[in-house]
Structure 1
């Protein structure tokens, strides 16, 4: 009989909360949440020590059939200032999780949320999972190390793992990065100046689509330490997407670019999504629909 226990680590974070909500709506799964935040209401919730997380007891008690790791730091500039902290959260903790699986839940399938940051500045676009990884930040390097740890546990201990390289995620609950910054600046000023030239590009993916892809991976992936690009295969310039966001926000000020890039930020990204398409993925949200939903959330929460 298939083990229907799903453990979501980082369940209170931006992506983790959406993944949790998604699987709670699917009948038959037993959802267990794990994070550093206090929660006196949630059932099946485990609170972690943020400084020295110990996963042994959690895996022993839950014995999950699936573990989705949505935890870790997701801040490229901060990884340059606090690299050891970034390493502990993005790399060391993944080793701890997999060691707990090896000891207590060896049949558990492990999905590790990685990042397109492992690619650095791609030589050509769209970037494929088989392309060389050359991170340009400690964050990207630590995410790549975590993927290598997933491969280690698969090859030497037969633990079923896979990593998903998420491109530019956005959606309700995100309180940092481009769209959050635009919303905050637009609510205070009639002039906005952003880093870069505006010609930099990203491959945006709405957070609810990410949750759907993870469900597809659970049902159809081989879990042989393989990696999946998680994007939409659509390259869009920062200038174009910023103008669209501000238009949907009904902001009528002036947008400009400083011309200087931030250290650690790649220039252009576009994912080859052949692998997730082969699992049956098609996007349910255009960039315009996703941004409208995000703006509605910002307005509802009085954040703009």
Structure 2
């Protein structure tokens, strides 16, 4: 009885302990379930927050993409308009430059044509290189070699030491010296509106006589300075080639010379009668009469 009673007590104690353990375990399990549920709720809440955050991030990303896309489109539009404007400006500038170059080329071509025409014209202008024997001092140029150039119809200029002089001369006559040497007095007395044209007959005769017995391949150029009306007879060396070139020159017609105003003529006649009076050939009374005749003519 005592053994059974002890066993029963031990079994009752074990049963009680088991119940206590089960109760503790059950309470612990409930507590774990409660904690697990709470943790699960927290996890679910955290997952919802993640979803919300992801949603917001996704929407923000979409908004940023949209903004950048719109910004890119705006920049592309601006750049496109700027490129169009620059292209238009460059195109207009190129057109203007092309127009300028075209105008310049056209101007250069015209200038080249003008120069070619000038050269052709210059090549056709009669000119001849001459060597003077007598009369070059009257020209006033410090050289006996020069080039005579046709300046206009019946007019010539001289090129001396590569410089074309400003003086213009009327070319009255060209003659071989042997043709005029037969009568120096006749040449000296060649009249121009009733007055002596080439001055002192003795000086002229001396100039022609200086060629006597020498090279007769010479020519006489009868010139009148257009500004001063000074008369010059230029004796030059003249072979067949020079004579051929001289034949290309045009002369001032003697009739044209005679049609000029007679004022210069009167002065020359007055000067002549003054010299006659000085030499005693004319008296004061005769001089006065001649003077009145000339002035009233």
Report the TM-score range of the alignment, normalised by the length of the smaller protein.
Answer: under 0.3
More helix per residue = 2
Q: Computing the radius of gyration over CA atoms, which structure comes out larger, 1 or 2?
A: 2
TM-score of the superposed pair, with normalisation by structure 2: 0.23
TM-score of the superposed pair, with normalisation by structure 1: 0.22
